[in-house]
Amino acid sequence: MIVANWKMNGSKASIDDWINTVSKCIKPNPEVPCVFCPPSLYIDFSRKLIDDLSSEIKLGSQLVNAEDGTALTGGVNSSMLRDFSTDYVLIGHSEQRTFFNEQANQTFNKIQNSIDAGLSIIFCIGEPLDIQKENGTNDFLVTQLEILKGLNLDNVTIAYEPLWAIGTGLNAQTAYIEETHKFIKDYCETDLGVNEDISVVYGGSVKLENAEEILSSSCVDGLLIGGASLNPDNFSNIYNLS
């Protein structure tokens, strides 16, 4: 899976250009979904473009809030996402945890509601720099992963995004990514009872120059790309490496 996370970027014109260009340039591989996550306001607009072009692009939301029926001004729920045939949703992104103060119980509720609504979840985890420096990454990741206990993880992908690599231009080294992905996969199998190998994608300063090397690891099942996904040619070239 190769995911474009546009964060708070874009306009109708740039999204139109992106969807048209990417639809033309990618060589779709049914085993590698190409997922576009525009800002929420553009979900409907993107859906229509994707449908009009019969594009292979899958639609993802950067956001889901609480369960249906909650009084939440400004909120978006999983039924609304399904109403626009959204396939994927990002949950637990560090920017949601930091800037919207998302707590573990909220992350859990979002995952559970989204599973119930039939969405595929991209669950983002990752350690801050101080934890990485004191070799605490694995313990930290366990505190984030353990909320998945007891859930049906058939439609859950884990996105490993070290916080110090997001938007900094400093991607994690391939050996570190590989070791960490292996730890995540082992934890999911041993402690969460996932039988099939769970998909783990990497995010954090992925660009055309480093994508091939990162993807070359057998423990890396795809990429979650922020800044470098905004350019449709760049993004298509990265997708075509997968």
Task: Write out the DSSP string of 158-190.
Answer: EEE--GGGTTTS-PPPHHHHHHHHHHHHHHHHH
Q: Which of 67, 93, 95, 178 is catalytic?
A: 93
Is 95 catalytic? The answer is no
CB closer to ligand PGA, 222 vs 226: 226
Which member of 95, 102, 161, 178 is catalytic? 161
Q: How far is the CB of 54 from ligand PGA (least distance, A)?
A: 28
CB of residue 168 vs ligand PGA: minimum separation in angstroms? 7
Q: Distance (Å, rounded) from C-alpha 146 to C-alpha 140?
A: 10
Indicate the residue among 19 and 226 with the shorter CB distance to ligand PGA. Answer: 226
Euclidean distance between CA atoms 63 and 179, whole angstroms: 29
Cα gap 33→1, rounded to integer Å: 5
C-beta of 95: minimal distance to ligand PGA in Å? Answer: 7
Rounded to a whole number of angstroms, the minimum distance from the CB of residue 224 to ligand PGA is 5
- Residue number with CB closer to ligand PGA (67 or 110): 110
CB closer to ligand PGA, 92 vs 203: 203
Closer Cβ to ligand PGA, 42 or 202, answer by number = 202
Backbone angles phi, psi at 223, to 5 degrees: -135, 145
Supply the minimum distance, in Å, between the C-beta of residue 83 and ligand PGA.
25
212 is an active site residue:
no
CA atoms of 137 and 52, how far apart (whole Å):
44
Q: Which residue number is nearest to ligand PGA in terms of Cβ?
A: 226
Q: Which residues bind ligand PGA (CB under 6 A)?
A: 5, 161, 166-167, 203-206, 224-228
Q: Which residues are catalytic?
A: 93, 161
